[in-house]
Amino acid sequence: MNRYKAVIFDLDGVITDTAHYHYLAWKRLAESEGLPFDEAFNEHLKGVDRMGSLELILAQGSRSYSQEEKLALADAKNRHYVELIATMTPADVLPGVLDALAEVRAAGMGIGLASVSKNAFTVLDKLGIRDRFDQVVDAALIANSKPHPEIFLTAARQLGVDPKDCLGVEDAVAGVASIKDAGMVAVGVGSPEVLTRADYVIPSMARFRLGDY
């Protein structure tokens, strides 16, 4: 008897590495506003939605922005990001992901995707794996970004599974918090020193083994 009925994955940093594209797009925007931006600051944006990330970047300066200006900046960032991800192919699926999805499917479990990216469907299509997921949460319909548990709770509801019967897979601190606060078991992908709330931590998806959790 399987311990879980569904596995819900994050996208960025778990299924594929779009983090670098986000970094480039945010860096160009920050520099256009005369604000500092580097890889260390970018770590604070992991798992945070677009407007939340923009607020963190703009908070480094002293200028006040209207809501219309913020929306325009967020849109400019997204246009650049979309241009960057247009070059993605199935080769950009991270090592171990296809095996992990096949293992979960073979176990008869549901497979969900819980990403705050509003471009998740585009990325999945570029990777050629949208049909591997039973449910993909539409981030545009989520009111609260991670670390709020809404997106993982929504994924569980769409899959028709109780949250306590779900395994969540995330690479970001905010994402792990979202999984845990949803009442799920969390597998962190990365460093155990960083992902301290995760129940299990693996260095990469190549080490994902359903029977270990």
Give me the active site residues, please.
Answer: 10, 12
Q: Please enumerate, by residue number, every residue annotated as part of a binding site.
A: 10-12, 26, 45-50, 53, 77, 115-119, 146, 170-171
Please give the Cα distance from 178 to 212 (Å, whole number).
21
Task: Say how far apart CA 190 and CA 205 lie, in whole Å.
Answer: 9
Structure tokens at 24: 């480039």
DSSP classification of residue 204: S
Residue ranges for the binding site for substrate?
Answer: 10-12, 26, 45-50, 53, 77, 115-119, 146
CA–chain centroid gap for 118, Å, is 10
How far is 40 from 118, CA to CA, in rounded Å? 24
Round to whole Å and give the CA distance between 46 and 174: 7
Which residues are known binding-site members for Mg(2+)? 10, 12, 170-171
